[in-house]
A and B are shown apart, each in its own frame.
Chain A
Amino acid sequence: MSKDQIRGWGFVTPALLWTIAFFIVPFVVMGAMSLASLEGRTLVWDLSLANYAELLEKKYLWRAVLVSLEITLTVTVISVVLAYPLAWIIAFRVSPRWQRLALLLAILPFWTSYVVRSYAWLLVLAREGVVNETLMWIGAIAEPITLANTRFATVTGFVHFFVMLLTLTIYANLIQLSPNYRRAAMDLGANAFQTFRHVILPLTLPGIVTGAFLTFVLCIGDYVTPQILGGNTELSVPQVIMVQLGRRADFPLASALAIVLMSIVALAYLLSARWLRLDRL
């Protein structure tokens, strides 16, 4: 082995050991655990697919997967739609002098505790909360409507957080675009929409997909927001995992659910891999 190779391994080894210790090994343990089962309250290493079969048999389990997917896709789409114009305005319409302040405001939600922020939304969306009070004051509704403890509340809590994340990833992409692309498109006769559709959008797709992927991953695995804001009116996969662990300590079934969740994330990665450019952030 050459000196360069030794030096290379020297640089890589700490990260490699870290990945093995804190990702590969736990993943293998979790995978093995998902093949075990509970007999009464005793863990049995029978290496069967019973937990995965249970997932198909029990309606509340596969429905949890659907609920997670529906919420995550809704949040991702809404967040992208809201974040893109916001990032555009910060990148091209705000003077460089104010851009820093705009970005600071964009990341403000990250400064608050996640749990506190969720409970704050619960108060805002309550029947006697500010949203209902305002709607009644302007005459839009006669009686308070149910907003808290619904999927709407869960999606709102998520979107509030992820719009900011996506704004940053898309802004990072937009700011790297040379204005010459737009000028060249205009010179060639493209109007503003055509320039956006055929030049800007394809070039900023990596930023959109990267932010959307991060949103997808963080949203589908989140327990706090649906638990606090959703009011248990429906259960997502992380909530079902917590129930399995809380009283019965059913680690095998919880592991199988976690593997399913990871498989969905892996699938999302493969679908978006073509456009993912984490290095450009």
Chain B
Amino acid sequence: MQTGRKILGASALALMAGTAWAEGELNALVWCDHTDPELIAPFEAEHNVKVNLREYEGTGAALALLEQSRPGDWDVLVVDGIDVFRAVEAGVLAPLPEGAISTADYFPEVVMAENNSVDGVTYAVTEKFGYNTISYNSAKVDPADMESLTSVWSEKYDGRISIYDYYLPVMGLAAIAEGIATDAIGAGDLAKIDGVLSTMRSRAASVAGVVAAQTALATGEVDIVVGGGEWLTAVLASEQPELTWTIPKEGAVRWAQSIGVVEGASNPDLAVEFIKYITSPEGQARLATSSCFWGMPANAKAGDVLTDAQKDILRWDQQPDYLALTQLYPAPDADLDIEMQDLWLETLQQ
């Protein structure tokens, strides 16, 4: 009997301890740039909590994971800026408390209120952005050629190109090369985009993900990455300054990632505090220079925290021109998305 009581007592203590531990935890579904301890440790120390991070790739995979989870399993979601509406549609994002997160110091072009809200309710805020454009080895190619999309995938660079393995930005670049705005891409434009993709593909040595593209560029396997950008070459800049990037005269694609609180979060207040931290100048500077990949902070005040060298790599002073020259990722509806993905896979299997 006494043993039974001891077990019961121990179980109760364990349960209480478990609850206390759970209250001191924040569970976030994120992109890999959030897993840098330099970014997370200051928040954990300040709030005396443990932040559990899980990386994912692809909005579809994240939504499937959230739908299979129990309410309260996740507190924070980092999601592609063009997919916030999908997350809201799926019921996995909660409205942000009004006025809790200020975007007053943001670069105006990346506030993207229309992307981060549905029916006038704000569900997320932009936290980082960058460009899918042209990364290249300045010692191996003529930088002047990189200022025009058509010369990038011309015969001159046959076999020296890698294409970033994500259909939306690459097809966006193909559309821009054809003079089609990324937000105006329709089913009728796919034939033209197909023509550009086929040319691009015929010149390419590989179609590579982030690490493979970085490896290919760093080892000299290829000299150009179509769809690359600061996120690809910035982490290599200190060792190989010849690896750089540019935005051609026709323009390029702009990516943006948003952050929001998951519907039914166990710790919604802590989740909001986390978002406040991530969007603060300090958090933004750390996120911008994450060891996984670099990108521009959405909050322009992060410029006060970043070093001059970091800002040089990010091309801080050229942002007004770049923002004017670039267009947001294509955001196709479900049917067009299927057609675009089919076209992409057909191109890869050529």
Shortest beta-carbon distance from B119 to chain A in Å:
18
13 contacts between A and B (CB under 8 A): A40-B334, A59-B349, A60-B346, A123-B219, A126-B221, A148-B216, A232-B348, A234-B349, A243-B345, A246-B58, A246-B60, A247-B341, A249-B63
Query: B61, B220, B345: which contacts A60 (Cβ < 8 A)?
Result: B345
Name which residue of chain B comes closest to A232, CB basis.
B207
B317 within 8 A of A: no
Residues of the B chain whose Cβ atoms lie less than 8 Å from the Cβ of A67? 349
Query: B64, B219, B346: which contacts A128 (Cβ < 8 A)?
Result: B219
Contact with B along A239-256 (1 / 0, CB 8 A): 010010111111100000
Contact with B along A208-246 (1 / 0, CB 8 A): 000000000000000000011001111100001001011
Q: Which of B57, B59, B206, B216 has the most CB of A within 10 A?
A: B206
Q: How large is the interface on A (under 10, 10 to 19, 20 to 34, 35 or more residues)?
A: 35 or more
Contact A231 B206 (CB under 8 A): yes
Residues of the A chain whose Cβ atoms lie less than 8 Å from the Cβ of B159? 146
| Complexed CA–CA distance, A103 and B207 (Å) | 38
Residues of the A chain whose Cβ atoms lie less than 8 Å from the Cβ of B155? none
Near A by CB (< 8 A), chain B positions 202-237 give 205-209, 211-212, 215-216, 219-221
- Interface size counted on chain B using CB atoms at 8 A: 36
Shortest beta-carbon distance from A121 to chain B in Å:
11
Name which residue of chain A comes closest to B219, CB basis.
A126
Name which residue of chain A comes closest to B342, CB basis.
A58
Given A123-B219, A127-B221, answer yes or no on A245-B205 (Cβ-Cβ < 8 Å). Answer: no
Query: A64, A228, A231, A245: which contacts B64 (Cβ < 8 A)?
Result: A245
Contact B215 A122 (CB under 8 A): yes
| Complexed CA–CA distance, A17 and B341 (Å) | 40
What 7 pairs between A and B have smallest CB-CB spacing? Answer: A249-B60, A246-B58, A231-B206, A232-B207, A149-B206, A40-B334, A60-B349
A119 within 8 A of B: yes
| Complexed CA–CA distance, A245 and B61 (Å) | 6
A129 within 8 A of B: yes
| Complexed CA–CA distance, A212 and B22 (Å) | 48
| Complexed CA–CA distance, A246 and B159 (Å) | 28
Contact A119 B59 (CB under 8 A): no
Name which residue of chain A comes closest to B159, CB basis.
A146
Residues of the B chain whose Cβ atoms lie less than 8 Å from the Cβ of A234? 348-349
A63 within 8 A of B: yes
B44 within 8 A of A: no
Residues of the A chain whose Cβ atoms lie less than 8 Å from the Cβ of B168? 247
| Complexed CA–CA distance, A60 and B337 (Å) | 16
Contact B212 A122 (CB under 8 A): yes
A274 within 8 A of B: no
Contact B60 A245 (CB under 8 A): yes
Contact B205 A249 (CB under 8 A): no
Extra inter-chain contacts (11) besides given A123-B219, A247-B168, A247-B337, CB under 8 Å: A40-B334, A41-B86, A58-B342, A59-B346, A126-B220, A128-B219, A148-B206, A149-B205, A234-B348, A246-B58, A249-B63
Shortest beta-carbon distance from B274 to chain A in Å:
26
B12 within 8 A of A: no
Contact B58 A247 (CB under 8 A): yes
Contact A228 B220 (CB under 8 A): no
Name which residue of chain B comes closest to A149, CB basis.
B206
| Complexed CA–CA distance, A246 and B83 (Å) | 13
| Complexed CA–CA distance, A243 and B340 (Å) | 12
Q: Which of A64, A228, A249 has the most CB of B within 10 A?
A: A249
Given A228-B212, A233-B206, A234-B349, answer yes or no on A246-B57 (Cβ-Cβ < 8 Å). Answer: yes
| Complexed CA–CA distance, A84 and B61 (Å) | 42
